[in-house]
């Protein structure tokens, strides 16, 4: 089944749950008008639905091919990429100085969701290029910016992000790729990287690798890592691609999913050293890479939303057509399976989780925009802290629910879900990677608990929890019977979050073992409270807008989330507060 971009839902979540409409009204985005925003979303939806979505199955079945160092993308991808880049999608949020349109990151986030719903293995490539643009804009020398940014912004060249080595995955500080200073001021890079997304392909004339490496006299660990730009083809004096650099793909991986995306083992310097150019300062590479990674983490979070949306659409369509048994109250059977309460529950869970994750991701993107465009220094700092707090939540929750929703999608299809023909299985396989790359979800939870909760002495997270409380009060004040027990259940969830947060930033600060053991359930609790509140905000906005026929549906989904999914919060709170001990004292259970 094909994908149809849910443009109206996306626009509504962006404007009314994520805070885009107030940001627009405050003038954060200059003279950008709502009409243009709607036009961009419509056009992106059309492109994703009509051009990219048909590539999804062929990408999965034929995959990327590797032969004699050359990677061939699946049939139709080259033409689709050329059309996509020509339409200017790659530079949507990039600086105007380098040919971009400088539109909001939040708008770009909505588009990234659509590219990835349509074909995740396709949508992944541009995520890396956009990340490279961010890193070079923030840290590149003028010469690097002039030489590379215009082509990366236009999408004529793509970018890669190269951290991982066999012994250095989550532990980036263990990387061994070497960089040596050359007399001409450039560097010679030697070493091997693994799992490099779009490290080699046939979509563009040049590929710009951003490679982390270590200088001979560098300190050990992450403080001794530098970032280098290593082009596949070195540039001629006129800026065009010239001589081939000493960097090549050795092979590509055979994977569970995203078959259309080539995942390469890269070899640098088997002819003496790949020519690289320093980005930022020596030994400050991690700071540069973080610029790239934060954007990339949000983009990967959006992949979770994207795959969940596509799986939900497909499951809904199937459940309306497939007939089995007689539903309660039906005059005669067989009834469409959507009429059975258990199937309905699965579909509502899929929809509610998808929309909650979408709202969290877009809210993170709006915070990133405010951090960049806020009216004064203080507003920008607060927004930066908000974005930092929400990024690991968005990444881990959205990609976890991507897998859960895709799994439910298979379940709704019954046996047909397990058969490749329907495509439900592909979503499940594709979804799995997003919880692993760009920092595993376990690492995201640790980041949230150890680095993000202590931001501004705990003021960042406390201010956020106060906002969630305000939403609960607004639901209660609305006094709309359609909300059922939403206010009460959401209120309990937010207070569970408040208690565990106080506990983590209070007594457990000197007890890292306990905090680390409870980090993953804590992140889920955080996302449950945030997602539930944002769905309620969306419902309240729908009810406020006179003549909005969609209000009952939005209220119903907020209520379903609060009464069926958020109610697990009390159990998660217990797991964080009391369960850590049984994690840390249970080594015997894993012995043998």
162 makes contact with ligand FAD (CB under 6 A)? yes
Q: Which is nearer to ligand FAD, 43 or 253 (CB)?
A: 253
DSSP H helical ranges for 322-376? 341-373
Site string for ligand FAD, 361-390 (x = CB under 6 A): ------------------------------
- In the complex, what is the shortest distance from the CB of residue 230 to ligand FAD, in angstroms, rounded to a whole number? 13
Choices 192-200, 500-508, 528-536, 550-558; region in contact with ligand FAD by CB under 6 A: 192-200
How does DSSP assign 520-578, residue by residue?
Answer: HHHHHHHHHHHHHHHHHHHHHHHHHSTT-TTHHHHHHHHHHIIIIIGGGHHHHHHHHHH
- Looking at the Cβ atoms of 349 and 391, the one nearer to ligand FAD is 391
Q: How many residues touch ligand FAD (CB under 6 A)?
A: 19
Q: Verify whether residue 421 is a known catalytic residue.
A: no
Residues comprising the chain, all counted: 592
CA distance 7 to 10: 5
Q: Distance between CA 130 and CA 92 in Å, rounded?
A: 10
Q: Which residue in 121, 127, 196, 533 binds ligand FAD (CB under 6 A)?
A: 196
Smallest gap, in angstroms, from Cβ of residue 585 to ligand FAD? Answer: 18
**Among 7, 37, 130, 163, interactor with ligand FAD by CB under 6 A:** 163
Give the shortest CB-324-to-ligand FAD separation in angstroms.
37
Among 49, 90, 186, 197, binds ligand FAD (CB under 6 A): 197
Among 350, 344, 258, smallest CA distance to 311 is for: 350
C-beta of 438: minimal distance to ligand FAD in Å?
6
Q: Which stretch binds ligand FAD (CB under 6 A): 35-43, 79-87, 191-199, 325-333?
A: 191-199
Helix (H, G, I), strand (E, B) or coil at 591: coil
- Using CA atoms, how far apart are residues 249 and 246, in angstroms rounded to an integer? 10
Pick the closest to residue 144 from 239, 35, 51, 27 (CA basis): 239
Nearest one of 172, 185, 265, 271 to 213, comparing CA atoms: 172
Among 163-171, 214-222, 402-410, 555-563, which window interacts with ligand FAD (CB under 6 A)?
Answer: 163-171
Nearer CB in complex with ligand FAD: 20/195: 195
> What's the closest the beta carbon of residue 447 comes to ligand FAD, in angstroms?
10
C-beta of 144 vs 436, nearer to ligand FAD? 436
- Identify the burial level of 321 via C-beta atoms within 10 angstroms of its C-beta, where 0-12 means exposed, 13-18 middle and 19 or more buried: exposed
In sequence order, the 6+-apart residues with CB closer than 8 A to the CB of 572 are: 496, 521, 522, 524, 525, 528
Q: Which is nearer to ligand FAD, 438 or 538 (CB)?
A: 438
**Residue 23 in contact with ligand FAD, rule: CB under 6 A:** no
Q: Which is nearer to ligand FAD, 263 or 528 (CB)?
A: 263
Residue 161 contacts ligand FAD per CB under 6 A = yes
User: Are 486 and 431 spatial neighbours (Cβ–Cβ below 8 Å)?
Assistant: no
Reported as half-sphere exposure (CB side, CA atoms, 13 A), residue 292 has a value of 31
Residues 164-183: x/- map of binding to ligand FAD (CB under 6 A)?
x----xx-------------
Local structure of 443: helix, strand or coil: helix
Minimal distance, residue 166 CB to ligand FAD, in Å:
8
Mark residues 239-278: x for contact with ligand FAD by CB under 6 A, - for none: ----------------x-------x---------------
If one asks whether residue 295 binds ligand FAD (CB under 6 A), the answer comes out as no
Annotated catalytic residue, options 113, 165, 438, 537: 438
Per-residue H/E/C for 367-425: HHHHHHHCCCHHHHHHHHHHHHHHHHHHHHHHHHHHHHHHHHHHHHCCHHHHCHHHCHH
Judged by beta carbon, residue 201 or residue 469, the one nearer ligand FAD is 201
Q: Toward ligand FAD, which CB reaches closer, 104 or 392? A: 392
Q: How many CB atoms lie within 10 A of CB 250?
A: 16
Tell which positions 423-482 bind ligand FAD, by CB under 6 A.
Answer: 433, 436-437, 439-440, 442-443, 446
Q: Is 189 helix (H, G, I), strand (E, B) or coil?
A: strand
Q: Are strands 206-213 and 226-231 parallel, antiparallel or unpaired?
A: antiparallel
Residue nearest to ligand FAD (CB): 169
Region of residue 231 (phi > 0: left; psi between -120 and 50: alpha; otherwise: beta) = beta
Alpha-carbon Rg of the chain, whole angstroms? 24
**What is the smallest separation between the CB atom of 410 and ligand FAD, expressed in angstroms?**
21
Which of 195, 228, 318, 464 lies at the binding interface for ligand FAD (CB under 6 A)?
Answer: 195
99 close to 121: Cβ distance less than 8 angstroms: no
For position 141 contacting ligand FAD by CB under 6 A, the verdict is no
Q: What residue ranges bind ligand FAD (CB under 6 A)?
A: 161-164, 169-170, 195-197, 255, 263, 433, 436-437, 439-440, 442-443, 446
Q: Which residues are catalytic?
A: 438
């Amino acid at each position: 089944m094909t994908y149809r971009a849910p443009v109206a839902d996306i626009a509504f979540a962006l404007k009314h749950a994520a805070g885009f409409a107030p940001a627009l009204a405050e003038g954060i985005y200059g003279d950008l008008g709502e009409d243009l925003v709607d036009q961009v979303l419509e056009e992106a939806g059309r492109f994703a639905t009509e051009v990219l979505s048909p590539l999804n199955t062929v990408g999965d079945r034929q995959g990327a091919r590797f032969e004699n160092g050359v990677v061939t993308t699946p049939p139709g991808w080259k033409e689709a990429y050329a059309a996509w880049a020509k339409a200017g999608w790659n530079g949507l949020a990039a600086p105007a100085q380098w040919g971009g349109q400088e539109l909001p990151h939040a708008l770009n986030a909505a588009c990234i969701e659509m590219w990835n719903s349509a074909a995740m293995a396709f949508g992944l490539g541009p995520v890396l290029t956009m990340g490279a643009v961010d890193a070079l804009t923030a840290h590149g020398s003028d010469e690097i910016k002039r030489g590379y940014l215009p082509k990366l912004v236009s999408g004529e060249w793509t970018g890669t992000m190269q951290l991982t080595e066999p012994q250095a995955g989550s532990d980036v500080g263990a990387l061994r790729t070497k960089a040596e200073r050359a007399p001409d001021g450039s560097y010679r890079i030697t070493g091997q990287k693994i799992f490099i997304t779009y490290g080699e392909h046939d979509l563009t004339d040049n590929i710009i690798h951003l490679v982390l490496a270590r200088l001979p006299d560098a300190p050990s660990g992450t403080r001794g890592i530098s970032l280098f730009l290593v082009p596949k083809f070195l540039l001629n004096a006129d800026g065009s691609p010239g001589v081939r650099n000493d960097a090549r793909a050795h092979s590509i991986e055979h994977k569970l999913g995203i078959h259309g995306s080539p995942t390469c083992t890269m070899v640098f310097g088997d002819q003496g050293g790949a020519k690289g150019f320093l980005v930022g300062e020596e030994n400050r590479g991690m700071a540069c890479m973080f610029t790239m990674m934060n954007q990339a983490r949000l983009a990967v979070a959006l992949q979770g939303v994207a795959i969940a949306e596509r799986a939900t659409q497909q499951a809904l369509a199937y459940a309306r057509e497939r007939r089995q048994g007689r539903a309660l109250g039906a005059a005669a059977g067989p009834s469409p399976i959507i009429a059975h309460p258990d199937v309905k529950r699965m579909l509502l869970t899929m929809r509610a989780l998808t929309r909650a994750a979408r709202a969290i991701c877009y809210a993170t993107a709006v915070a990133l925009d405010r951090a960049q465009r806020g009216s004064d220094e203080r507003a920008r700092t607060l927004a930066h802290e908000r974005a930092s707090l929400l990024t690991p939540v968005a990444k881990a929750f959205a990609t976890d629910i991507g897998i859960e929703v895709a799994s439910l999608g298979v379940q709704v299809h019954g046996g047909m879900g397990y058969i490749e023909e329907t495509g439900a299985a592909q979503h499940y396989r594709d979804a799995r990677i997003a919880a692993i790359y760009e920092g595993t979800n376990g690492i995201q939870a640790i980041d949230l608990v150890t680095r993000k909760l202590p931001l501004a002495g705990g003021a960042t997270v406390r201010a956020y929890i106060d906002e969630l409380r305000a939403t609960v009060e607004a639901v209660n004040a609305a006094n709309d019977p359609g909300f059922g027990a939403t206010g009460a259940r959401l209120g309990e969830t937010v207070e569970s979050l408040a208690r565990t947060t106080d506990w983590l930033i209070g007594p457990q600060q000197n007890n890292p073992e306990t905090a680390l053991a409870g980090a993953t359930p804590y992140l889920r609790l955080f996302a449950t409270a945030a997602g539930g509140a944002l769905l309620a905000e969306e419902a309240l906005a729908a009810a406020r807008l006179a003549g909005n026929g969609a209000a009952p549906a939005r209220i119903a989904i907020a209520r379903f989330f609060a009464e069926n999914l958020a109610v697990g919060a009390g159990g998660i709170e217990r797991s964080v507060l009391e369960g850590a001990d049984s994690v840390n004292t249970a080594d015997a259970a894993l012995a043998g």
